Amino acid sequence: MKVAVWDTYVTKADGVIMNFDILVPESETNPEIIYGYGQAYLKSKAMHDYPITSNHCTFCHIETATDVMLDDIKQKGYSIIELRNC
């Protein structure tokens, strides 16, 4: 399966920039749905009031999904790769 990678940056309350990728099926192109996945991830990190918009989250590239990514996508509709300060 091919997944779309959306590169996401959020500035935390202490000013540190958090960087993570949101991975969705290649066929998912609705930014609002993808932003919602980012919001769900932030809520899981107790970051409830951090907006995700086109200023924070942009399509980056397509790649082949790993088994872990596929499992996440089957369960939640998306997968997250934590890159920096998550």
CATH number, domain with residue 64: 3.10.510.10
- Does the pTM surpass 0.85? The reply is yes
- Which pLDDT score is estimated for 53? 83
Per-residue pLDDT tens over the stretch 26-85? 999 999 999 999 999 999 999 988 888 888 999 999 999 999 999 999 999 999 999 999
Q: What is the pLDDT of residue 50?
A: 86
Where does residue 66 rank: exposed (0-12), middle (13-18), buried (19+ CB within 10 A)?
A: middle
Give the structural domain span for 15. 2-84
Number of domains in the chain: 1
Check whether 6 has a pLDDT greater than 90.
yes
| Assigned token pair, 52 | 């995700």
- Per-residue pLDDT at 7: 97
